[in-house]
Amino acid sequence: MNSIKTPKDNIILVPTDLSTASNFAMDHAVGIAGLFDNQITLLYVVEETFFKSIFSGGIEKAVMIDTINAKLLEKAEAIKAKNPSLTVNTLVREGKVYKQIIEVSQTYACDSIVMGFSGASGMERFMGSTTTRVLKSSEVPVVIVKDIKSNMKYEKIVLPIDLTRESRQKVDWAIHVARQYNSQIHVIMEIEKDEFLANRVNASLKQVEKILSKHGIDYVSKILDDIQYPEHFGKDVVQYADEIKADLIMIMTQKETGVQDYLRIGSFARHIIHESKNIPVMAIKPKETMTYWATESFA
């Protein structure tokens, strides 16, 4: 059931159920692997309840596992046929889907997780999905893919920033990605009417500009006004990303305020993931900190 030859090998994990949405994720992962010299691991998780439901029909568990593994290997061979230099592993696991995804990502020290998302109707259904559980548990970046694009490169990255220190972590990841793709980073912040907060916004924006310049990153910075962008920040971010035809939106998985809630994903992240149509979203779980970094100097 496991074709991974060695653990901890610079791996992108791609959970799949062989659906159209997960096929989009596979294609996206292939594009990333080509630039970052990654391996890809295709993971199929069979729910325990699935086996219980089919045993009454006389289908043996081993036969089902073999069938699933054969289909996964067929998919891996098809990928390698188009990308001969790419290593594609396959893995079939049993159990809770999100738990197995997290366990595998930790066991093999995966660099990232790339998942397809079909865009289930209704926010309540989305909040109860495997995707959400993975997002709030994963210690590595999770890239959510809804559609396939002709341009697989992250040429334009939208980086929404707020006043928390957690946003610094996004800047670091954006630099890492931008260096590989020669990306242009679009740093956006929300306008503040309060003078004190407005000054902090301006100071934070200048700090981000400074560190991007220091690393030689091409960037555009913008404070979204209430006239052209009258909605809440999440909706405004998606609007801006659509306008510039962005290739990636980078977010944190928790609320981007001074107080972190690790029992759920913040409304900002939920909105971005749910509403972005064909723009992949990279979600990063922040390390807990309460310090406002607008007053800090970058090292």
Length in residues, the chain: 299
CB neighbour class for 292 (10 Å; exposed up to 12, middle 13-18, buried from 19): middle
Q: Which two tokens stand for residue 26?
A: 């596979």
Q: Is domain 11-145 annotated with CATH 3.40.50.620? A: yes
In the chain, DSSP assigns E strands to: 11-15, 39-46, 88-94, 112-116, 142-145, 156-160, 184-190, 218-224, 248-252, 281-284
C-alpha–C-alpha distance, residues 240 and 256, integer Å: 18
**pLDDT in the model for residue 157:** 96
Topology of domain 156-295, CATH: Rossmann fold (3.40.50)
pLDDT higher than threshold 50 for residue 259: no
Name the band, by pLDDT with cuts 50, 70 and 90, for residue 220: very high
Average pLDDT for residues 242-253, to the nearest whole number?
92
Q: What is the pTM of this model?
A: 0.83
Pinpoint the residues of the chain covered by CATH 3.40.50.620: 11-145, 156-295
Beta strand 281-284 pairing with 142-145: antiparallel
Higher pLDDT, 39 or 289: 39
Name the band, by pLDDT with cuts 50, 70 and 90, for residue 29: very high
For the segment 40-77, what is each residue's pLDDT rounded down to a tens digit?
999 999 887 665 555 555 557 778 888 899 999 999 99
